[in-house]
Amino acid sequence: MKKLCATAILMASLGLLAACQDSPEDKMESARESMSDAADNVRDAVEDTGDAIEQRTDEAFNNEPTASERVQENLDAAGDRIGEAYDDSKDYLQEKGEQARDAAADARADLEERMNRE
């Protein structure tokens, strides 16, 4: 947060310095914009810090899973999906294999029937 505040102050200072080289109206407008940007940066830093504090508090009191727990959950879910995809593929291939065997038997019977006619 210190870096973000320092950056915001630096940006405001540079804006003020640039404003010193313009007309008085331009200087005021530039200074206003620089201060607005600095305030936005500080506001963002405060929000990010608040979010980080909230996350750490939740993790400390076991209200939310830790990063390693989330990684483990994601790995488990991915493993489950891979197993399901394997089972689905296996079932699909068995079904298609049965259909191919049936089609081959039908084709063989049809061929034999044609040969017997001739």
41-72 tens-digit pLDDT? 888 888 888 888 888 887 777 776 778 888 89
SS3 (DSSP) at 23: coil
Judge if 13 and 49 occupy the same domain. yes
Judge if 91 and 106 occupy the same domain. yes
- Checking if the pLDDT of 89 tops 80, the result is yes
Q: Which residues contact 74 (CB under 8 A, 6 or more apart)?
A: none
- Checking if the pLDDT of 4 tops 70, the result is no
Judge if 12 and 56 occupy the same domain. yes
- Checking if the pLDDT of 3 tops 80, the result is no
> How many domains is the chain partitioned into structurally?
2
Judge if 7 and 28 occupy the same domain. yes
Judge if 4 and 46 occupy the same domain. yes
Q: Residue 70: its pLDDT value, please? A: 83
Judge if 47 and 32 occupy the same domain. yes
Judge if 75 and 51 occupy the same domain. no
Q: Residue 11: its pLDDT value, please? A: 66
Contacts 24+ apart (CB under 8 A), 6-10: 7/41, 8/37, 8/38, 8/39, 8/41, 8/42, 8/45, 9/38
Judge if 54 and 85 occupy the same domain. no
Q: Residue 24: its pLDDT value, please? A: 63
Judge if 54 and 75 occupy the same domain. no
The first and second tokens of residue 11, run together, are: 């940006």
Q: Which domain holds residue 8?
A: 1-64
Judge if 81 and 33 occupy the same domain. no
- Checking if the pLDDT of 22 tops 70, the result is no
The first and second tokens of residue 36, run together, are: 């607005």
Percentage of residues of the chain with pLDDT beyond 70: 73
pLDDT per residue as tens digits for the range 96-110: 889 888 888 888 888
